[in-house]
Amino acid sequence: ISESLSRVLFPYLTSADDDLGKLVILKRSTGILMFIGMSGTICVFLFGDFFLEKWIDPEFSKKSSESFKYMSLAIFFILSSNISYNFLQSYGVTKITGLIHLIHVPLNLILTYFFTTLWGIRGGCISFIVISILESTSLFYFSIKVSKSKI
């Protein structure tokens, strides 16, 4: 959903001259995605065990429902990052997105190594949540900062 929405919005963001309009689009589309993502995450937390049990089997559900819930939480945070990323790209500040991802990759490797060493699969899921939060908040922060400097 987030990828589709960002692909639809990108041509408008690159061609629009109205910086305030771009900021409104960023905030509205991020809000819509957060609402959709929160709804999905709540459904996974409430019905994930039941879904995995019926879809595959009870043993699989017992072993993987916790990871399923962690991953849905991480995906919730990632949803808004596509919009913020394309927003920054539309302003032509590719250096910011490049630096964010340049910092993101080694940090992801380090966190994943240490967290999986300490907590196994649960640690891998937790590192994915932490990285997702850091990436989405940094992209959103710089989107707001860049747009306010242009207004």
pLDDT in tens, 36-55: 878 888 888 888 888 888 88
Cα 73 to the center of its chain, rounded Å: 9
Dihedral (CA of 11, 14, 18, 22) sign: positive
Cα(71)–Cα(129) distance, integer angstroms = 7
Compute the mean pLDDT over every residue in the chain, rounded to the nearest whole number.
83
pLDDT in tens, 66-112: 888 888 888 888 887 888 888 888 888 889 988 998 999 999 999 99
What's residue 67's pLDDT?
86
- Tell me: pLDDT of 7 over 80: no
Helix (H) or strand (E) holding 11: helix 2-15
pTM: 0.77
What's residue 126's pLDDT?
93
